[in-house]
Each structure stands twice: as C-alpha cells, then as structure tokens.
C-alpha cells in the first residue's frame, strides 16, 4: 500500500481540480509520489476531454482583456455544451486568461493559440489547459475564435 496522507489527497485535489476518488487512485497508482500522481490526474483529464470531442457546443462565454496601456485589447469566445458551464467561474477565469494570452502573444489563429505555452504557467499549453478544464467539468469546451486589436494596426 502506498504511503500518503489525507492531506496529500486534498492537496492534489486543490492543485488539479480532480475529484477526491480520482486523486486517491492516482496517488495509489503512483505509490505516493505526488508529482507522478499529478501527471496521472492530468492525463486522465485530457483523456476525458478527448471523449467529449464529438459533442455539440451551443452555449459559451465571451471575455475581454484590455492591457494597462489601453493600446492592446483582445476578445475571446469559448464554447461549451450548457449555460450552466458557461456561468462556471473557472471557465470564465480561464477565458479571461486566454484573452490576456491573445493580447500578449499575438497568435495568428486558434490552432497557433492552442499550441502556445500559457504565459502564466509555461509548463502547460493553452490546449492542455482547455482540455484539462473540460475533463474536470465534464463538458466539451473549445476556443472558437478571437480578435486582437492594437492601436495603429489595421
């Protein structure tokens, strides 16, 4: 039996957003190795997101970011399956982070954006972040489009 505590399970849950049972199973599989358990939970979330790929996305959320200089701004549309998830604070926070990413990194299109390292956490890409949230929430989530404005650019 792996050696880990209830606090380890709680910490893994807080860091990953995964369910308690999933965290316990990951720690068991990793024989108490916290980093390995975190990777197991992340991989499970990505797998869950892949299973949802064929679902319809009829709801969504728009987020805007305006840089402190008021010379760069971005608007991002994220689609999901239900209005309940569109109102989810975690989805809304992620969408705002993606709008900041668009303003800062100037991706040419959604595919390029999805491959970019997240500016707040370079250990993950935007695509992995979206898939991870999709796996935790249990719905298909996609970044459908964005627009970026910069003063003086056409």
- What confidence tens digit (pLDDT) does each residue in 81-113 have? 888 999 999 999 999 999 999 999 999 999 999
Max mean pLDDT among 2-16, 88-102, 122-136 falls in 88-102
Cα dist from 22 to 34, 78, 105, whole Å: 13, 27, 34
pLDDT exceeds 70 at position 14: yes
Q: What is the pLDDT of residue 57?
A: 67
Q: Tell me the β-bridge partners of 149.
A: 73
pLDDT exceeds 60 at position 52: no
Strand order in the sheet with 142-150: 59-66, 72-80, 142-150
Q: What is the pLDDT of residue 105?
A: 97
pTM above 0.85, yes or no: no
Q: What is the pLDDT of residue 75?
A: 98
pLDDT exceeds 90 at position 72: yes
Sequence spans of domains, the chain: 6-51, 59-150
Q: Which CATH number fits domain 59-150: 1.20.1090.10, 3.40.50.300, 3.30.479.20, 3.30.1280.10?
A: 3.30.479.20
Q: Tell me the β-bridge partners of 77.
A: 62, 145
User: Given this structure, which CATH class describes domain 6-51?
Assistant: mainly alpha
Instruction: Give me the mean pLDDT over the 20-38 stretch.
Output: 82
- Of residues 90 and 138, more confidently modeled: 90
């Amino acid at each position: 039996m792996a050696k880990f505590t209830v606090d380890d399970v709680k910490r893994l849950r807080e860091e990953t957003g995964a369910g308690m049972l999933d965290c316990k199973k990951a720690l068991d599989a990793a024989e108490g190795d916290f980093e390995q358990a975190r990777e197991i939970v992340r991989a499970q979330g990505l797998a869950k997101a892949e299973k949802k790929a064929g679902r319809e996305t009829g709801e969504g959320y728009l987020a805007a970011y305006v840089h402190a200089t008021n010379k760069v701004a971005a608007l991002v549309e994220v689609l999901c399956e239900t209005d309940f998830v569109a109102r989810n604070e975690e989805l809304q926070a992620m969408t705002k982070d993606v709008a900041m990413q668009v303003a800062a990194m100037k991706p040419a299109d959604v595919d390029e954006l999805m491959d970019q390292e997240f500016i707040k956490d370079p250990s993950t890409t935007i695509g992995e972040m979206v898939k991870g949230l999709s796996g935790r929430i249990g719905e298909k989530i996609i970044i459908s489009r964005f627009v970026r404005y910069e003063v003086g650019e056409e």
